Amino acid sequence: MKEKTAALLNESKTARWIALILISSTMFFAYFFVDVVAPLQTMLETQYKWTPEVFGMLGGSEFFLNVFAFFLIFSGIILDKMGIRFTLITAGLTMVIGAALKFYALTPGFQGTGLAIWLDSFLTWVPSSAKLAFFGFSIFGVGVEMAGITVSKTIVKWFKGKEMALAMGLEMAVARLGVFAVFRLTPVFAENGGVSNSVFMGLAFLCVGFITFFIYTFMDRKLDKQMGVDKLEVSPEDEFKISDIKKIFTNPGFLAIAGLCVLFYSAIFPFQKFATDMLASKLSVDVKTAAAYFSYFPIGAMILTPFIGYFLDIKGKGATMMIFGAVLLTVSHLIFALVPAESFGVVTAIGTIVILGTAFSLVPASMWPSLPKIVEERYLGSAYGAIFWIQNIGLLAVPILIGWALTASNPGVSEKIAAGVEGVKYDYLVPELIFAGFGVLAFILAFVLKAVDRKHGYGLEKPNKIK
């Protein structure tokens, strides 16, 4: 028995880190595509006649099918029933198909087609290009969230009892590098071919990401074969059941983490969609420069997340880390909201962006390794699916809310920008106060999570690494 354990592929440090590199590479490309048009809000307004509401709807559309068609719940069940390899390949193909549709929607060849004319026949205030882009992005959203929960369970499979939080932190750091890359490269791509060229490059990157997923499946198959997964029958008590969904949603630890997750991410990902224009407006700089400034946002997360993961593996304190993260989240958005433009210089902007990036490292690095402590492994995929589904409700609604709040608090500005009037800019006070409000609620819920942990003994404050 000892010889068999020593021979397992996940006992090899080299093998498990190679596995992590492969799956993390795909998430780098996926995160790049998520925000591929985020720095191009002004170009979409002037060239495609998209209003802030339409731009916000694009951000929310990524999560539409996951929320209303419950695809994330189904993704978790598929993961637990069909396994990691099947789910990774399905997720990769879905991302590529959805991205291809979004790309086609923004090409000149789409305009004037029968599909474009039909799409223009209803909801006439939303351009046909946006409607098809919504549809494609929602399909992509199914794939990227399916990939996210599968990658989380994959890391647990290879690193549980070892460097699990460090591995999750490194995976998140690589994904954040995709955010850095998109804010650096997308404006450059757009200068040489417009918005559609940026989306095409994102699609090309996703195709590379599908290949890295595919390569990983050979390692996963070998590990399963060594573990005898394909040969051994699963005992009834270890098999996933639909009734386990009820156990997930009645678990107080899960509910606390899910609430914290949706509040925290609602103040991060929707903000990324509007951050470039916010900085351009507040600093009175062009979009390319503003995007370059905001590209520093994931730097703090990239650098700190692996170290935080290592600390959590060795020392613990996961619930405490989430409290600190919520504080930094709130402070950064209050600075964006309340510091007047005349006092808001480049140093202040970049410093605040790095603070936000630090918050972005503290909470996710603590949150995702905590979930395996709260729920049983046999339905861990469904638990990740459920928490991502709850998160997606916020990520669907908040960009639309911010787009509406931006227009409502800046009457007439959208029309002037669409008409090409020079020097017109938005005031982001109200949207930033909304984001800060999410941070305050996350701070409160982080204390609730710590109390729940003390009561139920999940061990969120304990180290992840088993000595």
Is residue 430 scored above 50 in pLDDT?
Answer: yes
Q: pLDDT confidence of 111, banded at 50, 70, 90?
A: confident
pLDDT of 241: 64
> 């990524």: which residue's tokens?
62
Which is more confidently placed, 71 or 140?
140
pLDDT of 230: 55
Task: List, for residues 220-241, the tens digit of each pLDDT value.
Answer: 999 989 887 654 444 444 555 6
Is residue 47 scored above 50 in pLDDT?
Answer: yes
Which is more confidently placed, 104 or 357?
104
Q: What is the CATH number of the domain that holds 288?
A: 1.20.1250.20
Which is more confidently placed, 229 or 133?
133
Average pLDDT over residues 66-94: 91
Is residue 407 scored above 70 in pLDDT?
Answer: yes
End-to-end CA distance of the chain, in Å? Answer: 20
pLDDT of 229: 66
CA distances from 418 to 48, 50, 290, 421 (A): 9, 8, 20, 8
Q: Rank 46-55, 89-98, 301-310, 363-372 by mean pLDDT and report only the highest.
A: 89-98
Which is more confidently placed, 27 or 245?
27
Residue 127 is assigned to a structural domain of this protein? yes
Task: List, for residues 432-443, the tens digit of each pLDDT value.
Answer: 999 999 999 999
Q: pLDDT confidence of 463, banded at 50, 70, 90?
A: confident
Is residue 353 scored above 50 in pLDDT?
Answer: yes
Is residue 297 scored above 90 in pLDDT?
Answer: no
Q: pLDDT confidence of 3, banded at 50, 70, 90?
A: very low
Find the largest Cα–Cα distance for the chain.
74
The sign one gets for the Cα dihedral 419, 39, 205, 365 is negative
Global pTM value: 0.78
- Domain holding 159, by residue range, is 12-225+244-456
Contact 31, 186 (CB under 8 A): no
Residue 425 is assigned to a structural domain of this protein? yes
pLDDT of 87: 95
Q: pLDDT confidence of 312, banded at 50, 70, 90?
A: confident
Average pLDDT over residues 68-93: 91
Which is more confidently placed, 325 or 381?
325
Residue 360 is assigned to a structural domain of this protein? yes
Average pLDDT of the chain, as a whole number: 88
Give the least confident one: 220-234, 391-405, 451-465: 220-234
Residue 230 is assigned to a structural domain of this protein? no
Average pLDDT over residues 127-156: 94
Residue 168 is assigned to a structural domain of this protein? yes
Is residue 86 scored above 50 in pLDDT?
Answer: yes
pLDDT of 336: 95
Number of domains in the chain: 1
Residue 239 is assigned to a structural domain of this protein? no
pLDDT of 239: 55
Residue 466 is assigned to a structural domain of this protein? no
pLDDT of 295: 85
* Per-position DSSP letters for 236-294, written without gaps between them: GGGS--TTHHHHHHT-HHHHHHHHHHHHHHHTTHHHHHHHHHHHHHHHT--HHHHHHHH
Query: In the chain, what percentage of residues exceed pLDDT 90?
Result: 50
Which is more confidently placed, 275 or 385?
275
Residue 463 is assigned to a structural domain of this protein? no
Average pLDDT over residues 379-383: 82
Average pLDDT over residues 106-131: 92
Q: What are 137's two structure tokens?
A: 């992005």
Is residue 382 scored above 70 in pLDDT?
Answer: yes
R_g of the chain, CA atoms, integer Å: 22
pLDDT of 436: 97
Residue 99 CA, chain-centre distance (Å), reads 16
Residue whose C-alpha is closest to residue 464's, from 362, 378, 373? 373
Q: Is 29 left (phi over 0), alpha (psi -120 to 50) or beta?
A: alpha
pLDDT of 378: 77
CA distances from 182 to 24, 135, 150, 281, 294 (A): 16, 22, 23, 20, 10
